[in-house]
Amino acid sequence: MNLFSFFGLIFVIFAWSRAFNRVRTKLMSWREFLFWSVIWCTAVVILIWPSYSTKLASYIGIGRGADVIVYFSLLLIFYLLYRIYAYIDTIERDITKLVRVMAVERQNVKSKKL
Amino acid sequence: MKLAIVIAAYNEENSIHSTLSSLPKKLDGINCIVPIVVDDGSTDRTGELAEEAGAQVLTHLINRGQGAALKTGFDYAVKYGYDLVVTFDADGQHQSEDIPALIRPIVDGKVEVTLGSRFKGKKAINMSYSRKIVLLIGVIFTRLISRISVTDTHNGLRAFSRKALQTIELMQDKMEHASEILDQISRHKLSFMEVPVTIKYSDYSLQKGQRSSQALKIALTILFYKMVR
Ligand SMILES: Nc1nc2c(ncn2[C@@H]2O[C@H](COP(=O)(O)OP(=O)(O)OP(=O)(O)O)[C@@H](O)[C@H]2O)c(=O)[nH]1
Ligand SMILES: [Mg+2]
Residue in B66, B74, B207 to alter for ligand 1 test, most ligand atoms within 8 A of Cβ: B66
pLDDT of residue B227: 80
pLDDT of residue A69: 84
pLDDT of residue A21: 93
Nearest CB to A103 within list B59, B171, B173: B59
Which of the pair, A51 or B198, is modelled with greater confidence?
B198
Query: pLDDT tens digits, residue range A21-46?
Result: 999 999 989 999 999 999 999 999 98
Give the residue extent of every domain in chain A: 1-49, 64-114
pLDDT of residue B27: 96
CB-CB neighbors (< 8 A) of A99 in chain B: 41, 60-62, 64, 68, 72
pLDDT of residue A114: 65
Cα–Cα distances (Å) from B143 to B134, B149, B176, B196, in that order, read 14, 5, 16, 19
Contact B36, B7 (CB under 8 A): yes
Q: Could you tell me the pLDDT band of residue A55, with boundaries at 50, 70 and 90?
A: confident
**Distance (Å) from the alpha carbon of A110 to chain B's nearest alpha carbon:** 10
Q: Model pTM?
A: 0.87
Query: pLDDT tens digits, residue range B93-139?
Result: 999 999 999 999 999 999 999 999 999 987 788 999 899 999 999 99
pLDDT of residue A30: 92
Residue in B17, B93, B127 to alter for ligand 1 test, most ligand atoms within 8 A of Cβ: B93
Pocket of ligand 1 (CB under 6 A): B 8-10, 12, 38, 40, 63, 65-66, 69, 89-91, 93, 154, 156, 205, 208-210
Nearest CB to B61 within list A93, A102, A107: A102
Q: Could you tell me the pLDDT band of residue A15, with boundaries at 50, 70 and 90?
A: very high
**Distance (Å) from the alpha carbon of A3 to chain B's nearest alpha carbon:** 44
Over the Cα atoms of chain A, what is R_g? Answer: 23
pLDDT of residue B156: 96
What is the Å distance from ligand 2's center to B205 Cα? 5
**How many Å apart are CA B205 and CA B210, to the nearest integer?**
9
Query: pLDDT tens digits, residue range B46-89?
Result: 999 999 999 999 999 999 999 999 999 999 999 999 999 999 99
CB-CB neighbors (< 8 A) of A95 in chain B: 62, 64
- Residue B225 scores a pLDDT above 90: no
The amino acid present at A91, given as its one-letter code, is I
Query: pLDDT tens digits, residue range B149-181?
Result: 999 999 999 999 999 999 999 999 999 999 999
Contact B195, B105 (CB under 8 A): yes
**How many Å apart are CA B33 and CA B139, to the nearest integer?**
32
pLDDT of residue B228: 74
**Distance (Å) from the alpha carbon of A77 to chain B's nearest alpha carbon:** 20
CA angle B207, A95, B85 (to 5 degrees): 60
